Structure 1
């Protein structure tokens, strides 16, 4: 059974085995802010039980770090437990969850062998209802937290949450510790390194960074991950500039990760490069 572990004063993190996803609680005199809600109604019920077992207060709000279902499909269950609480997210995350959440459920419907299939299909998708475009502060009474959209990366609607009084930053899936950052078909690999430059500007050498998946890390870890993503982006740019076709790029490039992790990265990168940075093959 996962336990909420206090990583800084009144900041607790629980790491759940399914997707190795982190759920974080930030406490203030007005109550708890829950950051991400897990991937289904059933998974979120476990989170609710764990929050109540912690006994640190009532949840007064939710933050979704981005739209992906392993971070948002628990919204309905959490709001059932604490009726009427606001759900905060970047405006693009609202659009993406509304547009693509149904596709996630269809993927589970098409896979009768997945042990989470029935739970995901029974989950009611509840999108965020409090959105912002650039940055916003949330008041927990004796503590303010900052939601910042540093740019596109893992999705177009990523946010990070900063708790300034204890130098903690929740990175969502812009930072991952237990695996390489996931570059999916909705990612922005050419923007991601620059987005992490903004995130690094919010950190100090003593910052605790809670990733979307895995154990807490420090600023140096984020720098290293930013540099790997930067190599990927520049390799894509170089290959396209030399006229290497997208279907040959994975084999032609020298990558910091195994190529099997970069299929979407290469295709998305080629799509996002301006025409002036692509040399068309001679026919």
Structure 2
């Protein structure tokens, strides 16, 4: 479908593979690309869409890339954008930049076990290019007639999540801290590198960057409003507090999923429970734990 303008000079393209979003933010210096898709061939398709959109713009070039976190479906197109637009800066949180290469190599290894996956070869042939412009808390990027803010609200989906705020357009790009996609039934990505005990507080920071009319773009799926994010924050908060309660009562981690009611399907929460138990200080855990 290509890029759709959701606010003044903010365009989102939603791609079938992973139902992932790539966003463009335009200024009079050029375009900022937020996330770059999951392989070099996929990214070349994104570049084609960027060029079709940019042909009618006063400043049609891409002047920078932002990765909302290190996962391959958001970073494996970095090299293509470098090839097409020169030595442009690639921005990410410092933790995400550090983890992009090892996270990508792990994914390539996982694809070894998926010989019939139609994307296997293109993922494994992709050259991983981590971000080279990093920050720890927040940074502002100058696009000429507008500023774009990159904010690390804390850990959640990963340890290096960032959100992109476009203040004059009242848009926040939330990456995978917010999940809308029907491909996952709207379940947040509680992966093996998530931080479920931090995630609700990180979303509180994100909500503090929004107002009643703010458009929030998740990493996957359709744009949402503040109320959607509040509801998802509360559900993730239930996950975190349920983990805390179970651990405090001494329920073993391998029994925790069956010992409580959860706001999401149990099969989606195996990593969340294990990671949550690991995150809790010893003072909040009782024996027997395994």
The yes-or-no answer on 1:192 pairing with 2:191 is no
Q: How far 1:107 sits from its partner (Å)?
A: 1.3
Deviations 1:55-113 (A, max 9, x none): 23111100000000000000001111101110000000011112222111111133211
For 1:281 and 1:105, locate their aligned partners in 2 and report how far apart those are by CA, in whole Å.
37
Alpha-carbon shift at residue 154 of structure 1 (Å) = 0.2
Q: What CA deviation, in whole Å up to 9, does each residue of 1:16-64 have, x standing for no partner? A: 0000000000000000000000000000000000000112311110000
| Equivalent residue number for residue 254 of structure 1 | 261
Taking the aligned partners of 1:184 and 1:124, their CA distance within structure 2 comes to 23
The 3-state SS of whatever aligns with 1:89 is strand
- Which residue in the other structure is 2:277 paired with? 270
**What is the aligned partner in structure 2 of residue 52 from structure 1?**
51
Matched position secondary structure for 1:151:
coil
Deviation at 1:142, TM superposition (A): 0.2
Question: What TM-score do you get using the length of structure 2 for normalisation?
Answer: 0.96
Matched residue of 1:92: which SS? helix
Calculate the aligned-residue CA RMSD, in Å. 0.9
Structure 2 distance, partners of 1:74, 1:86, is 14
Tell me, what secondary structure is at the counterpart of 2:256? helix
Is the 2:27–2:144 Cα contact (8 Å) retained in structure 1? Answer: yes
The equivalences for 1:92-241 within 5 A come to: 92-178=95-181, 179-241=186-248
Distance in 2, matches of 1:34 and 1:42, equals 17
Deviation of 1:176 after TM superposition, in Å, equals 0.9
Unaligned runs of 5+ in 2: none
For 2:111 and 2:48, the matched residues in 1 are separated by 25
Cα deviation digits, residues 214-248 of structure 1 (max 9, x gap):
00001110000000000000000000011100000
Distance in 2 (CA, whole Å) between partners of 1:281 and 1:85 is: 53
**CA separation in 1, counterparts of 2:178 and 2:210?**
13
Give the Cα–Cα distance (whole angstroms) in 2 for the partners of residues 111 and 161 of structure 1.
34
Tell me by how many angstroms 1:122 deviates. 1.2
What is the CA–CA distance in structure 1 between the aligned matches of 2:146 and 2:34, rounded to whole Å?
16
Verify: 1:244 aligned to 2:251, yes or no: yes
Instruction: Please list every run of at least 4 consecutive aligned residues from structure 1 whose deviation after the TM superposition is greater than 4 angstroms.
Output: none
- How far 1:281 moved relative to its partner? 2.4
1:129-184 superposed Cα distances (whole Å, 9 cap, x missing partner): 00000000000000000000000000000000000001100000000111211000
Number of aligned positions between the proteins: 281
| Residue of structure 2 equivalent to 1:84 | 87
Retained in 1: the 8 A contact 2:3–2:12? yes
Distance in 2 of aligned mates of 1:109 and 1:42 = 19
